Amino acid sequence: MSVALTLTEPRPRKAAPRHLADLDLAGCQSVLSEIGQPAFRAKQLRQQYFGRHVGDASQMTDLPAAAREAIGEALLPRLLQPIRVDSCDDGRTVKAVWRLYDGALVESVIMAYPDRVTACVSSQAGCGMACPFCATGQGGLDRNLTTAEIVDQVVNAARLAEERGLGRLSNIVFMGMGEPLANWARLKSALHLITAPVPDGIGISARSVTVSTVGLVPTIKKLAEEGLPVRLAVSLHAPDDELRDELVPINTRWKVAEVLDAAWEYARVTKRRVSIEYAMIRDVNDQPWRADLLGKLLKGKLVHVNLIPLNPTPGSRWDASPKPVEAEFVRRLREAGVSTTVRDTRGQEIDGACGQLAASVREAGTPGRAGAKPLGASGAAE
């Protein structure tokens, strides 16, 4: 009845076009020499792309005009074709839908706040984790994004934020489409490029980058060993295995206790507070006893809870928890000494809020499987 859980690497399609964000400096230099360009242009290109967020060689005025086309073709093909760019919240939330070289669609969202500008980016086209309350999860996994496709979302977000007067991009959250840790090799390279100083990378502080995961335990350990102090967010959504098995199907493989152990280990190694994401779903996971159980599991740990009011997906019978229920949940967690806040719900009008990203489903003009059949009925029967 539900969408299949997919952990395996999807079948590769035709190769992605070569892009400088998939190459290191030496790789860039060797491509340049193949097309008869001096090696020093590699640094120039990387400075322009990572540092000034220029992705189009024809706009790089420090390159000889006659060489721009050949260099662009060899190293800077357009990876993300904008399908549409929408904004709301007075222009302070911007969602972009991109078409990739093979027709796959992904979305990213920019959110400008008084003290920071955050880009929410995708790590996969679609998602294989099949969480029944998430729009992306209903479409299944299309494919992993390449490193350059991930990095290019960040570069485009930085440029869009600057062009629209929103300010300098300061934070990245991997909370768009996909399960970042299911695309580990590409994610790892992208994290290094996002955080390395210009011209080797985009120069965003690792402390301002958040990787959100359903809880792929062995890969959380790899992330901890990577030596990048990025923030880890774990999508828990239930404190008990019975309900979490249904809300986050990968829980049938790695249980709540194992996921939390991996999170505490991550906090120990990186000395960073872990975030616990918890979508508040009316009468499903919002009972006072679940707040108390969650409080008991998290008490005394280096942790912060982010409660996310559920954004109901089309056709789902699930709804957000009423505000008084949410307030009681917060009160009980805080009473247990657990730092807790409720996430704002930016971008709802443009389907850019948490769990609403499902470009491929919408563009295909079908309501999606969530629309055809409400999932997870047993979870709602508490």
Positions that interact with ligand SAH (CB under 6 A): 129, 131, 133-134, 175, 179, 212-214, 235, 277, 279, 308, 310-311, 313, 354-355
* Position with the least CB separation from ligand SAH: 355
The two counts, helices (H) then strands (E), for the chain are 14, 12
Examine the residue annotation and report whether 107 is marked as an active-site residue of this protein. Answer: yes
Give the nearer residue to ligand SAH in terms of CB position, either 134 or 190: 134
Q: Say how far apart CA 178 and CA 357 lie, in whole Å.
A: 10
Between the alpha carbon of residue 91 and those of residues 77, 87, 170, 171, 297, the distances in Å are 29, 5, 18, 18, 40
Give the nearer residue to ligand SAH in terms of CB position, either 107 or 179: 179
Q: Say how far apart CA 154 and CA 56 lie, in whole Å.
A: 15
Between the alpha carbon of residue 90 and those of residues 50, 161, 164, 166, 176, the distances in Å are 28, 14, 12, 11, 21
CB of 78 to ligand SAH, least distance (A): 26
Q: Say how far apart CA 362 and CA 197 lie, in whole Å.
A: 38
Look at residues 182, 134, 119 and name the one whose alpha carbon lies nearest to residue 354: 134
Q: Say how far apart CA 73 and CA 75 lie, in whole Å.
A: 6
**Residue listed under structure tokens 């062009």:** 163
CB of 218 to ligand SAH, least distance (A): 16
Examine the residue annotation and report whether 354 is marked as an active-site residue of this protein. Answer: yes
- Which one is catalytic: 120, 149, 246, 354? 354
Residue 167: Cβ within 10 Å count: 14
- Which one is catalytic: 34, 88, 107, 225? 107
Query: Measured at the alpha carbon of residue 313, what is the angle toward residues 354 and 356, in degrees to the nearest 5?
Result: 30
Q: Say how far apart CA 101 and CA 344 lie, in whole Å.
A: 34
Sequence ranges of the binding site for S-adenosyl-L-methionine: 178-179, 212, 235-237, 311
Sequence ranges of the binding site for [4Fe-4S] cluster: 127, 131, 134
CB of 315 to ligand SAH, least distance (A): 12
CB of 230 to ligand SAH, least distance (A): 14
CB of 133 to ligand SAH, least distance (A): 5
Between the alpha carbon of residue 160 and those of residues 35, 44, 92, the distances in Å are 31, 21, 11
Q: Say how far apart CA 74 and CA 84 lie, in whole Å.
A: 27
Give the nearer residue to ligand SAH in terms of CB position, either 75 or 151: 151
Give the nearer residue to ligand SAH in terms of CB position, either 85 or 342: 342
Give the nearer residue to ligand SAH in terms of CB position, either 133 or 266: 133
Active-site residue list = 107, 354
